[in-house]
Chains A and B, each alone.
Chain A
Amino acid sequence: MSSRPSAKPAAPAPSSKVKTLTIDDRLVSAREDESILDAARDNGIQIPTLCNLDGLTPVGACRLCMVEVKGSSRLFASCVTMVGEGMEVVTDSERLQKYRKTIVELLFSERNHVCAVCVSNGHCELQNLAQTLGVTHLTVPYRNPKLPVDASHERFVNDHNRCVLCQRCVRVCGEVEGAHTWDINGRGIGARVITDLNQPWGSSETCTGCGKCVQVCPTGALTEKGKSVREMSKRTRFLPYLTMMREDRSE
């Protein structure tokens, strides 16, 4: 996948102007190259996200961060929508809650997310989302697909049953590590993350074994070997730090 410089500038342009807008009836100010999501977070307003991760190019894929903007009947993915002067943003409404719950339900129905036996149980972003949004059961039927587990790598495991296709692994590998081991194969409901040209992870020639993909994975799809139920917690803090250090050096 190609990273687009226009989607989110790495460093604020010196000429970037400050805009004032309203988020959930609160007046906030933000640079014009900031997304609604960033502006909201800067002001302590939490919007649910899944594919978004600080330090990676936003892709707007999970659709959980959608917000309402007054004057438009359309919804906007706040991670990829830049702020505008006088914008009136609503981050939480009955309609948004309804959609977010359904999207989380769709994710649970898509593959085999069985928390009770998952190494990421208790440290899983999908599980957290379900709890925050009050998804106690599914109204859509489970699809129960038969999916493989790739444990060919000496230190890591890729369990397709837990993957939500957020593309964080694809982005961190391409944009931060620079290896581009991960990509997506197939399309629609048949899409899968793959290593190299769809060969076992363990035989990948491009994988550096850095483990960044494992740390940024929001669920128990990419995990370290040797962990039992509830033992796999992820460390994503390295990413903003790396990004910040690289920006410093380029200036």
Chain B
Amino acid sequence: MISIEDLSQISQTEREAKDAIPHQINVCVAASCLSLQSDKVKEALEKEVEARGKKDCCKVRGVGCLGLCAAGPLVAVEKEKVLYHGVTPADAPDIVDALGAGPVARIQGNLDAPFFARQQKIVLENCGRIDPERIEEYIAADGYLALVDTLTAMTPIGVVQQVTRSGLRGRGGAGYPTGLKWATVNKSQGTKKYVICNGDEGDPGAFMDRAVLESDPHRILEGMALAGYAVGAQQGFVYVRAEYPLAIKRLKLAIRQAERMGLLGASIGGTTFSFSVDLRLGAGAFVCGEETALIASVEGGRGTPRPRPPYPAESGLWGYPTLINNVETLANIPTILRNGPEWFAKIGTAKSRGTKVFALAGAITNTGLIEVPMGMPLREIIFDIGGGVPDGKAFKAVQTGGPSGGCIPESGLDMPCDYESLAKLGSIMGSGGMIVMDETSSMVDVAKFFMEFCMDESCGKCVPCRVGTAQMHELLRQISAGEATARELALLEHLCDVVKSTSLCGLGQSAPNPVLSTLHYFRDEYESKIAAGEAAAAGHAAAHAAPAGGAA
């Protein structure tokens, strides 16, 4: 049985081994850098180190996401605090030469830049620092300490109270108080209970959960085990989309490692608490991120939502009380229990505590993954951390919350980025995707793009979402092509209202949001398209009328 002493023993051995080697070269091997062949860079560096007989004083490690995906592949030299960007295998000799002799200026990144300096990391604290494929490194970073400590020192309801006091809210998008959800499942009656980690990240441009699962999988397992203890569940499922093969591979490995060490499975830490985790792979349906559809999918059925209530907290997986939390929510848990809820509650704003991970994408210089305290103004996120819009183009809008969210124009950029403020702007926090658009983007086309996404991803169960999204997409196509008149625009607005108010699940209820927010802030763009359509229609009518007039 693993104990606190065992954990600190592992941690000490690991740290000593690390300290014995003066130079650590960390190569990012998360999906984004891997797609730029960072594995080849790692190989080249390893060969170079070996060829020079520097194996005793230099170690090359694969680590998780370093954040600045735009400039990949990224390599960090740990103790010297040097970051190299855009590294190719040919740079390997120079990097090894430079160890202890000053960095290679040609490919050196600026770690003092706001992109790095302005972030505050809780969820991503281990990303880019530890090898995601070794449990020892997670333990050396105080991993599993919270779990083993909590199991022996706290009651389940005590854990729930800690989470409640931290003020953590669901990071999947809606911002439901996590402590309240845990308390509900804790109090629900059931002979069995389940914990599900929702890793079905599907918003276009969002890759926060992927990065966490690929860079620090043990954090999720620890969070799930703590959740299991708090609510009284012995079985957990991680629902990951099959499009994330690397995350799946690392999760599988992490589960096996944790089981071997007795950190998952029967009698964890010598207590009576048992908890196992299994993986379930999504088959590519966006709607399976909706909790009732996700449950149907885990059960082996067709992934379609069902009406709530009953909520999963009361009757979820196979009818048992089920706790469903997003990846990022669960990733916060170990740190909250390690550092205490008061520490966590000091970060962020009064109603939105803690930090939020955002995936910056679109027309932005520093495409990548960031974590900032809640309440940071959007302007700071986009222009200081994100480096603004590239190629000297002007900023037009930022889309948050994916297909359920909205577009925020320049005038909304000074609002603090928290759940309430984004809702006031007609968007939502969502899971953390942030797509920046420059002056060349047509907002009608943006709305059309998201509507096409919702139309394709609608499960087809309820009428307004199934047919309404298809009709709205056709109307947006006509407007975008300059074929529509004021009548089509009015119909579009009417359908937005119907689909929003009558759809069965969140997908349909929020599908009109991109249209509504672009109509609110960029109505002139719709109207100029309509004017073109009216002119064409008038011209058409005149052309028809002309021969008749000529004959008379």
Contact = CB atoms under 8 A, between A and B. Distances in A.
Given A66-B502, A188-B455, 4 more contacts: A1-B304, A2-B296, A107-B463, A110-B470
Contact of A102 (B301, B456, B495): B495
A189 B498 contact: no
B191 to A, nearest CB: 15
A75 B501 contact: yes
Contact of A186 (B299, B460, B469): B460
10 closest pairs, A vs B, by CB? Answer: A191-B460, A188-B458, A106-B467, A60-B307, A189-B470, A80-B307, A63-B502, A110-B467, A102-B498, A188-B460
Interface string B295-310: 0100101101011001
Interface string A163-187: 0110100000000000000011011
Given A1-B304, A109-B471, A188-B470, A63 B495 contact: no
Given A1-B304, A66-B502, A103 B464 contact: yes
A189 B501 contact: no
Interface residues of A, number: 40
A162 to B, nearest CB: 15
Contact of A187 (B310, B315, B459, B495): B459
Contacts of A102: 464, 494-495, 498
A189 B466 contact: yes
A5 B460 contact: no
Contacts of A106: 463-464, 467-468, 471
A2 B464 contact: no
Interface centre among A80, A102, A103, A141 (most CB of B within 10 A): A102
Interface in B441-477: 455-464, 466-471, 474
A74 B471 CA distance: 23
A225 interface: no
A184 B466 CA distance: 14
A61 B319 contact: no
A153 B306 CA distance: 32
B491 interface: yes
B504 interface: yes
A59 interface: yes
A75 B464 CA distance: 13
Contacts of B469: 188-189
Contacts of A139: 491, 494
Contact of A103 (B285, B494, B498): B498
A116 B399 CA distance: 47
Contact of B460 (A7, A66, A107, A165): A165
Interface of A: 1-2, 4-7, 59-64, 66, 75, 77, 80-81, 98-99, 102-103, 106-107, 109-110, 139-141, 143, 164-165, 167, 183-184, 186-191
B491 A188 contact: no
27 contacts: A1-B301, A1-B304, A5-B319, A6-B319, A59-B307, A59-B461, A75-B502, A80-B307, A102-B464, A103-B464, A103-B502, A106-B468, A107-B463, A165-B460, A187-B285, A187-B287, A187-B457, A187-B459, A188-B459, A188-B460, A188-B470, A189-B455, A189-B458, A189-B467, A189-B470, A190-B460, A191-B459
A80 B309 CA distance: 9
Contacts of A107: 463, 467
Contacts of B463: 61-64, 103, 106-107, 164-165
A75 B501 CA distance: 7
A99 B462 CA distance: 14
A141 B474 contact: yes
Contact of A141 (B301, B306, B471): B471
A63 B302 contact: no
Contacts of B471: 106, 109, 140-141, 143
B503 interface: yes
A61 B502 contact: no
B462 A60 contact: yes
A5 B319 CA distance: 8
A66 B304 CA distance: 20
Contacts of A189: 455, 458, 460, 466-467, 469-470
Nearest to B509: A74
A107 B502 CA distance: 14
A221 to B, nearest CB: 15
A103 B464 CA distance: 6
A4 B306 contact: yes
